[in-house]
Structure 1
Amino acid sequence: MSGDGTFLTDFATLSGFGATERGGVHREAASEADEAQWIWFGRWLADRGFTVRHDRVGNQFGLLERTPGARYLLVGSHLDSQPRGGRWDGAYGVLAAAHAVHRLGRETHALNLAVVNWFNEEGSRFTPSMFGSAVFTGGLDLAEALDTRDAAGVRVGDRLAAMGRTGTDAPALADVAAYAEIHVEQGRVLENAGTTIGLVEATWAARKYGLRVVGEQSHTGSTVMADRRDALLGAARLVVLARELSDELSAPEAPLHTSVSRMVVEPNSPVTVAREVSMNLDLRSPDEALLAHADAVLHERVPEIERSARVGVEIAGSHGWGVQPFSPAGVQLAREVADELGLSHRRIMTVAGHDSVNLNGHVPTVMLFVPSVDGISHNEGEHTTDADACAGLDLLTGVLRRLAAGGIAGS
């Protein structure tokens, strides 16, 4: 389809914001690089006839209203990245959404069209992840979100105000009739199968925990080993436990993915035994029963770690979601468009969370994947081929055309 060259040129420009020397991007939410791309994208939208709006938590919208009074078909993803992350994750979905809607902009549909750049999807600077879409759908309180602070004490509300990234005249959930998102897979299923398009039929279930391991500060040299209450030792055993849960409980038909990330050690001195460690731990599986069992085993084994390491372990907070099917009608609609375009496709589940997970259940939602080379993600080596990226754009355009005409019942 014509215009793919323009899309790739625009994507190269977008990838320059926060670019790293190894081909990735470092563009955490509300950073200077994120602010620069936000300004660029707002101008891109305005130059093409979109009305640019922001809501109170910094979500950025580009509106094309051709049918006064009609609700919106909302489509997008996020432009923030992980630290030294990949340039495709999220950003591809936002720019593909903008180009697809621009292609349809001269047409009149039952629904109006809107592109969204969700604020802080990654959750690397401000937690939790999928932040802006959670506020939009009522899963996260606005006041709590605005008062969230990063590790340096920077408050979300203050930073958004300084950027001029807040408003009150953006669409609300009640104004949205349906939602669509296209994303790189972040896995190897499509590549291994030689398939161009993933039709996302459901998301894996996930449980995420904030853990606090409490010991006692002491001297690394002179403190007798038997007297030590080393919080880092307790944390290390939790890391091992997380991997053991996956090794012990996973099955081919019901895998369990486990991870520990973002560890903060206090006082983090070279000659001091750690008094406290804060860390994140998450469990994910397509089988909710297995996930519940893994959660139970985790809690059963924590007391032994407390005894053996002479520490206390607190679960400071947790959140998660269950297995969530996406609209079967949406999957079928996308399959029909892929067939019309001659694009190979398969049904697939998403392991990662996306903003679509928050929208799903509130409005009919379509989630689409294009392949990731070698399954690499959250890494500067993340890559999707130009051919697959352009095929996804063509597919998204066709899907949006049908959705905007009321292609899913209830939209």
Structure 2
Amino acid sequence: MSTSPGSAQETGSFLADFRSMSTFGATAGGGVDRQAGTAADGQVRNWFRGLLEGHGFEVRYDAVGNQFAVLELVPGAPCIAVGSHLDSQPLGGKYDGAYGVLAGAHAAIRLLEKVRRGELDAQFNIAVVNWFNEEGCRFKPSMMGSAVFTGKLPLGQVLATTDPSGTTVQEALESIGTIGDFEVDLAAYLEIHIEQGRSLEDAGLTIGLVESTWGANKYEFIVHGEQAHTGATVIADRHDALLGASALVMAAREIADTFSTAEHAVITSCGEFTVFPNSPVVVASRVNLLVDIRSTDPDVLAAADTELHRRVAAIEKSASVRIERGAEHVWAAKAYDQAGMELAGACAQELGLPHGTVRTLAGHDSTNLKDVVPTIMLFVPSVEGISHNEKELTSDEDMLAGLDLLTELLGRVAAGGFVSRS
């Protein structure tokens, strides 16, 4: 089957829906703030439900709040899932995740019309998915909903997870009415996303075929010191948790500089500092922070990780503090399905879309899904690589090109061109 680029009516409908979707949680700087389980998240979920129910989809929620809009084409058959996430970072961009959910919805709507016209012989049903809490900013860790779906995190543990104010995931989901008992059998998963980097833009490409993830080790650290007076306590007597945390930040950056090579980059980052008691005249007694290390090469990642923990021990001694290692979230560098990449490349070639292979530095829900079902991941360009920022931007032309490709690809997969029914 072949799909021509969308008509003017179809492209206009997508762009209008994208503008409407972006009003939920809209910020003054042009982005969105739709953290998982908040009122804004609930509002956009309800809007999305209405959009797809209007086209005959059945919308359901599973036990961790993942939202599924199911288009039944072949009663009893498994589903091909397509989607991403609608939640955002605080003061985040309106494209991250949300573009992939809406593109999946519009691709499925276009294919429904082809089925009705007898132009597509579907072998599978289609499920458009909005995964819960991909961002991991209100509730940790990130990619939470897809991790529960794929069995990587236990449901009970996740539902009991609290945000900084003490609200549990279960309470948040119940407050917006998006928790249920739906279960679905998936045969494959497709996701399209903004790149969140600038390699596609730099190379003049419209489509990125994602060949693998970077490996990532993400840690929570708690630096324990002793509260004291900032004026009266001499330096030699201080156990300054903030000094220890600051040394950890510097160590992470030095590790990135030391271990990166021309072949294999290392990226480190620190964030979500919480300082206690956070008073201008008190030496900090405790600092909670996050540290992550990422690399394309597992051996380089392992070496950098070893150095990080060696530095932790050295910082404890030099800053006269104790550093506790808390929760961690790890995923390995791993390839996506080669046959899926080749199929996506053939579709892009047929549509005349400039494309190339890329790796994803960021985590996505496809990072979890690829470990349990055949998975295809696609990127469209991000202007100047800006992301997790209100200035995040992908052009209308690139969004529409990605939608055309996703429609073509989803049609072929739904027709049995990627996986077969068992």
TM range (shorter): over 0.9
| RMSD, matched Cα | 0.9
Q: Which residue of 1 aligns with 2:256?
A: 246
1:39 matches 2:43: no
Q: Which residue of 1 aligns with 2:283?
A: 273
1:346 matches 2:356: yes
The amino acid across from 1:5 in the alignment is: G
Contact (CA 8 Å) 2:369, 2:375: kept in 1 or not?
yes
Give 1:25's match in structure 2, choosing from 32, 46, 49: 32
Give 1:136's match in structure 2, choosing from 141, 149, 159: 149
1:294-335 Cα shifts (integer Å, max 9, x gaps): 011111121211111100011112121111100000000000
Contact (CA 8 Å) 2:39, 2:176: kept in 1 or not?
no
Structure 2 regions of 5+ residues with no counterpart?
A: 1-5, 116-120
Q: Partners in 1 of 2:293 and 2:11 — Cα distance?
A: 39
1:37-82 Cα shifts (integer Å, max 9, x gaps): 1111111111111101000100111000010110000000000000
Matches for 1:305-324 after TM superposition, within 5 Å: 305-324=315-334
Contact (CA 8 Å) 2:222, 2:288: kept in 1 or not?
yes
The amino acid across from 2:83 in the alignment is: G
The amino acid across from 2:88 in the alignment is: S
1:298 matches 2:308: yes
| 1:170 Cα deviation after fit | 3.7
Q: Partners in 2 of 1:72 and 1:343 — Cα distance?
A: 27
Contact (CA 8 Å) 2:215, 2:331: kept in 1 or not?
yes
| 1:407 Cα deviation after fit | 1.7
The amino acid across from 1:288 in the alignment is: P
Contact (CA 8 Å) 2:214, 2:359: kept in 1 or not?
yes
1:371 matches 2:384: no
Q: Partners in 2 of 1:258 and 1:410 — Cα distance?
A: 41
Contact (CA 8 Å) 1:57, 1:132: kept in 2 or not?
yes
Contact (CA 8 Å) 1:53, 1:170: kept in 2 or not?
no
Contact (CA 8 Å) 1:364, 1:410: kept in 2 or not?
no
Q: Mark the CA change 1:169 to 1:303 in structure 2 (over 3 Å): closer, same or farther.
A: closer
Q: Partners in 2 of 1:406 and 1:212 — Cα distance?
A: 50
1:352-372 Cα shifts (integer Å, max 9, x gaps): 000000000210000000000
Q: Which residue of 2 aligns with 1:97?
A: 104
| 1:389 Cα deviation after fit | 0.3
Q: Partners in 2 of 1:169 and 1:358 — Cα distance?
A: 19
Give 1:337's match in structure 2, choosing from 338, 347, 353: 347
What is the SS of the residue equivalent to 1:325?
coil
Matches for 1:225-236 after TM superposition, within 5 Å: 225-236=235-246
Runs of 4+ in 1 over 3 A off after TM superposition: none
1:259-302 Cα shifts (integer Å, max 9, x gaps): 00101111111211110001000000001100000011111121
1:406 matches 2:416: yes
What is the SS of the residue equivalent to 1:105?
helix
Contact (CA 8 Å) 1:61, 1:170: kept in 2 or not?
no
Give 2:366's match in structure 1, choosing from 346, 356, 364: 356
Equivalent pairs counted in the alignment come to: 408
Contact (CA 8 Å) 2:187, 2:419: kept in 1 or not?
no
What TM-score results when the alignment is normalised by the length of structure 2?
A: 0.96
What TM-score results when the alignment is normalised by the length of structure 1?
A: 0.98
The amino acid across from 1:44 in the alignment is: L
| 1:21 Cα deviation after fit | 1.1
Q: Which residue of 2 aligns with 1:51?
A: 58
Q: Which residue of 2 aligns with 1:73?
A: 80
Q: Which residue of 2 aligns with 1:169?
A: 182
| 1:169 Cα deviation after fit | 2.6
1:208-267 Cα shifts (integer Å, max 9, x gaps): 001010000111111111101000000000000000001111011100000001011111
1:148 matches 2:156: no
The amino acid across from 1:232 in the alignment is: L
Structure 1 regions of 5+ residues with no counterpart?
A: none
Contact (CA 8 Å) 1:202, 1:349: kept in 2 or not?
yes
Contact (CA 8 Å) 1:326, 1:360: kept in 2 or not?
yes
Give 1:396's match in structure 2, choosing from 381, 406, 421: 406
Q: Partners in 1 of 2:168 and 2:308 — Cα distance?
A: 33
Q: Partners in 1 of 2:132 and 2:371 — Cα distance?
A: 20
Q: Which residue of 1 aligns with 2:89?
A: 82
Q: Which residue of 1 aligns with 2:299?
A: 289
| 1:167 Cα deviation after fit | 1.1
1:359-389 Cα shifts (integer Å, max 9, x gaps): 0021000000000000000000100000000
| 1:200 Cα deviation after fit | 0.4
| 1:410 Cα deviation after fit | 5.0
Q: Which residue of 2 aligns with 1:223?
A: 233
| 1:22 Cα deviation after fit | 1.1
| 1:337 Cα deviation after fit | 0.4
The amino acid across from 2:385 in the alignment is: G
